[in-house]
Structure 1
Amino acid sequence: MQAEGGLQWTSVSGDLDPVLFPMLWGLIPFGDAVFNHRQVSLLLAELDKLPAACGGDWVGQARKLGQVVEQESHRYLWFVGD
């Protein structure tokens, strides 16, 4: 399963507080990020408190894919950078 919503990289995205958003803070525009089934639950919680300026279609797609990953171990959520 995959999504292609894309994440519009803004200064707000890069300015997320790493203490409040440690999973999302790890996303960078030019690199890949991989979350395992245990990390995805933390990521989903961060998506719930994400500022509106950072939102978009990608949030719903990431949430849907994250829920698939949570269903079983040995599944991963990949964010692919440029």
Structure 2
Amino acid sequence: MINLQVRGEDDTIKARARHGVQWGSELADLDPSAFPMLGHLMPDADTVFNRRQVYSLLEEVPRLPAGVLTEELTRELVQLCRLVLDGQHLYLWFCGD
């Protein structure tokens, strides 16, 4: 399970998703050239996106094939992205196991 968090520069958790990303073939098989943000996630490592990367991530979300993310997680992901964009010195973390 990959958990999502918004953290500040001081590593303080500002918000977190209730739902996590289930690692499976749908996510593992994403083409990194078509999905450069989500295509580079790893199930056992953390991935951090800054504000500029979050813009790119938000462009990928509506194009994701069915089954990659649940509807609940998609809503939470968009909310967390907006929090990063609306704040200062915030980062979106995908925390792998």
The bucket for the TM-score relative to the shorter chain is: over 0.9
Task: Give unpaired runs (5+ residues) of structure 2.
Answer: 1-14
Alpha-carbon separation, structure 2, partners of 1:48 and 1:77: 18
Where does the alignment leave 5 or more consecutive residues of structure 1 unmatched? none
Instruction: Give percent identity, aligned residues only.
Output: 45
Higher strand share: 2
SS at structure 2 position matched to 1:29? coil
Mapping for residues 42-57 of structure 1, pairs under 5 Å: 42-56=56-70, 57=72
TM-score by length of 1: 0.92
**Aligned counterparts of 1:62 and 1:26: Cα–Cα separation in 2:** 16
Stretches (4+) displaced over 4 A: none
What root-mean-square deviation, in Å, do the aligned CA atoms of Structure 1 and Structure 2 show?
1.0
SS at match of 1:46: helix
Tell me which residue corresponds to 2:26. Answer: 12
TM-score normalised by L of structure 2: 0.79
Contact 1:5 1:58 in 2 (8 A): yes
Q: Which structure dedicates a bigger proportion of its chain to helix? A: 1
Matches within 5 A, 1:14-29: 14-29=28-43
Q: Is 1:70 aligned with 2:53? A: no
Residue-pair matches, total: 82
